[in-house]
Amino acid sequence: MVYEEQPLALLGSIDSASTHLAEQVVAKANLPLVSPVATDRTATLAGVPWIFACAPSDDAIAGALVEAVQAERRDTPGRLALLHATDHASRMTASAIRRAFSRSGRLPDYQFQAAPGAPELTRTLTALVEARPAVVVAIAGVEDAARWLTAVQAALPEASLYGGPEAGRHRFRELAGATAEAVRFPELVPPSPEDPDWVRFRDEFVAARGHPPDHAAVLTYDATRLLIEAILRAGPNRARIREQLILLSPWRGLGGEIRFDHTGQNTRAGLRWVTFAEQRRATSPRRRRKAALKRSHSMRSATSKAPDERAAFGVRALQRRFVVAPASRDLRNPLRP
């Protein structure tokens, strides 16, 4: 596809492992790649200057996890168990977590790993029950994380449960059921009920899909808008598109600020570990009404010369449907309705 259709840029992939595979192609093709959801820091550290990661890194996730666990267990520390899958994304996140806990002066007391899709966890559950940890951190894909954490909660109902980024996905909530309400996960996209654009996106997403958008949906939307803006500014030229992606940073999206470092990694930190209940309270109708009232007062006091933040970050109204023209075509506008 890259060499036959000659795209201007790529958007993706769906996870860190696929992004690593794609970087081998874009490195040779000199093709910009914007990743919405990959958190693996090594993707941008591979020395490929064409990759940009919009999600916070595993290091930011791990640092916030240490702070969350320490805050919760300050009075009664207890034991900590780390359970992770052996796929690439899970291993990288687990490695970042171990490094973060090591820097804090305390490694996990127990560490377990299992192959993705492993049907039998009897040994692991038996070892966990014998150890009786106060905190269990499970890092795995959506299906495995839902199955593992459900089993852990049944075996250790008093343990505090923490999941990785996949535990914040809507699919995890569907699979884990009631267990999902007890699991804390990194909030890669903080809700912004005071932002009318965020509220509009959320309401339209709910109307279309029947459930609120998770971090993957919001980050993909932001990455798409950012890439389209870079194409509109640069025209049908891959090198100039890459330059515009750099120049547009920092860029304010619905999911927060995207600020690329010299490797193309979003440097946003200060993440929270939350539950689904805490996210619902943050976007409750009462809070939204208060935010709307606050906006109304702000608009009355603002002068007519107040700067437009969206314009300052180069955000334009985009068409709902578009086609990206191949780079080999000489078009004035690389996006056509």
Determine the pLDDT at residue 302.
Answer: 42
Report yes or no on 336 lying in a domain. no
Long-range contacts formed by 323-332: CB under 8 A, 24+ apart: 324/7, 324/8, 324/9, 324/231, 325/8, 325/236, 326/5, 326/6, 326/7, 326/8, 327/6, 327/7, 327/8, 327/236, 327/237, 327/238, 328/6, 329/236, 330/236, 331/236, 332/235
Q: Tell me whether residue 232 is in a domain.
A: yes
CB 49 within 8 A of CB 242: yes
Distance from CA of residue 276 to its chain's centroid?
15
Pair (49, 87) in one structural domain: no
Burial of 297 (0-12, 13-18, 19+ CB in 10 A): exposed
Indicate if 47 and 155 belong to the same structural domain: no
Total of domains in the chain: 2
Domain that holds residue 69: 59-186
Whether 297 maps to a domain, the answer reads no
Q: What is the pLDDT of residue 294?
A: 53
Final residue of a structural domain among 146, 166, 186: 186
Same-domain pairing of 50 and 71: no
Say if residue 164 is in the same domain as residue 85: yes
Do the domain assignments include residue 329? Answer: no
Is there a single domain that holds both residue 82 and residue 177?
yes
- 39 and 69 part of one domain: no
> pTM to 2 decimals?
0.80
pLDDT of residue 139: 96
State residue 228's pLDDT score. 95
Q: What pLDDT shows up at residue 318?
A: 38
Please check whether residue 302 lies inside any domain of the structure.
Answer: no
pLDDT at 124: 85
Kindly state whether residues 43 and 110 are assigned to the same domain. no
Q: Are residues 182 and 224 in the same domain?
A: no
Residues 104 and 134 in one domain: yes
CATH of the domain at 36: 3.40.50.2300
Per the domain annotation, does 253 fall within a domain? Answer: yes
pLDDT in tens, the chain (337 residues): 767 778 888 887 777 777 766 777 777 788 899 999 989 988 788 778 899 999 999 999 999 999 999 988 887 778 999 999 999 899 999 999 999 999 998 889 999 999 998 877 788 889 988 999 999 999 999 999 999 999 999 999 999 999 999 999 999 999 999 999 999 999 999 888 889 999 999 999 999 999 999 999 999 999 999 999 999 999 999 999 999 999 999 999 999 999 999 999 999 999 999 999 998 887 765 554 454 445 544 444 443 333 343 333 333 443 433 334 444 334 344 343 3
In a domain, 283, yes or no: no
